[in-house]
Structure formats: C-alpha cells, structure tokens
Amino acid sequence: MPRRLLLLIGVLASLGAGSVHAQPSGLLLSADQVRGEFAGLGFEVAEAVHWTWSTPGLTTFRVRDASTQRLLMVLVYPDQATADTARVELERRAAPLVDGYGPSTWRANVAVVQASEVELRRIELSEYDREMEVIVRGGDDAAAPTASSTYAVDYDFLGVLDAALQRGNL
C-alpha cells in the first residue's frame, strides 16, 4: 500500500483519540465552499472525498494549477475542535500531514499542503524502486525513510482561504 495512503489513514485514525480545547474562531469553512472558491478562480478542483469511517469525518480534495503543475491537498475538518486535535497530534508526531507534500498550513478548520506533480512522481518512483528491492532481496522496508516535499503552501493558495474567511462566506 503506498506510504501516502498509510499516513493519511494514520492521521484519520488519530482524530478520535484525545481532545483539545478549541479556541473560538467563529468561522468555519465547508468543503463545498472551499472547492467553490478555488474553482471560481480557475483552478482544477477534484471531487471531494468524505472519509466516513473516521469519527468525526474528514473531507479531502486536490486542487491543481495546470500552468505551474502545483498541487494542493485540502483537508477540511468538520469543526474547529477536530482540526485542533489533528494539529496537536501532527505536532506530537513531528511528521508531515501527507507524505510527499510540504509542511501544512492551517486556516480555521482547513489544513492545506502543497507539492508539485513532478516531485510527487519522483517520490512515487523512488518508493516503487525501494519496494521492488525489498521484494527481490527479501526483508522489511520499515526503516526506510519516507520522502516528503519541501514546498510550503504558496501565498496565492492561502489568499483564497483568507478571503473566504474574511468575507464570512458561510
């Protein structure tokens, strides 16, 4: 199973553990609102996936900027308390939110991470090569480090979220 999927499953499973006192932020964004904001600006927006097996649920989707091959993974938590819990768990683990993507940036109940198509493909091929080596030589690849991108989320992507929050687009 690809490492990116395993990490995402781990993050989703950790949402049910523990609780964090949420700071009242007042505004929350829905996945449909965030998708609409990006689509309205001409970005390619993938269908949302709602992860119902985790409690509470989480919705994710990708945004693509075709002109630069930038990819944004958007994770929309159902409320601020759930987002805060996920954020604290992420800091405790000191690991990327989504393998292959850069560091996460948070706005209200939304987390975003960025990568490039080229970088994700390179990481995918590298992981495939490592897995094939394990199959041929035998053994375990548990100690092998997981590659991550160093791309921070660009300001134009963050500006979309900030504008939606400022308008109170609820």
- Could you report the per-residue pLDDT of 49-83, keeping only the tens digit for each? 999 876 678 999 999 999 998 999 999 999 999 99
Amino acid letter, residue 2: P
Q: What mean pLDDT comes out for the span 99-122?
A: 87
Bridge partners for 72 per DSSP: 63, 114
Contact 76, 30 (CB under 8 A): yes
pLDDT over 70 percentage in the chain: 64
Strand locations in the chain (E): 44-45, 49-51, 58-65, 70-76, 105-107, 110-116
Q: Nearest 5°: phi and psi at 121?
A: -65, -40
Element (H, E) at 114: strand 110-116
Please state, rounded to an integer, the average pLDDT across all residues of the chain. 77
Say what the pLDDT of residue 111 is.
96
Which position has the higher pLDDT, 153 or 8?
A: 153
Nearest-5° Cα angle at 23, 21 to 24: 125
**Residue 36 confidence (pLDDT) above 80:** yes
Say what the pLDDT of residue 23 is.
36
Which residues fall within 8 angstroms of residue 72, CB to CB, at 6 or more apart? 38, 62, 63, 64, 65, 112, 113, 114, 153, 157
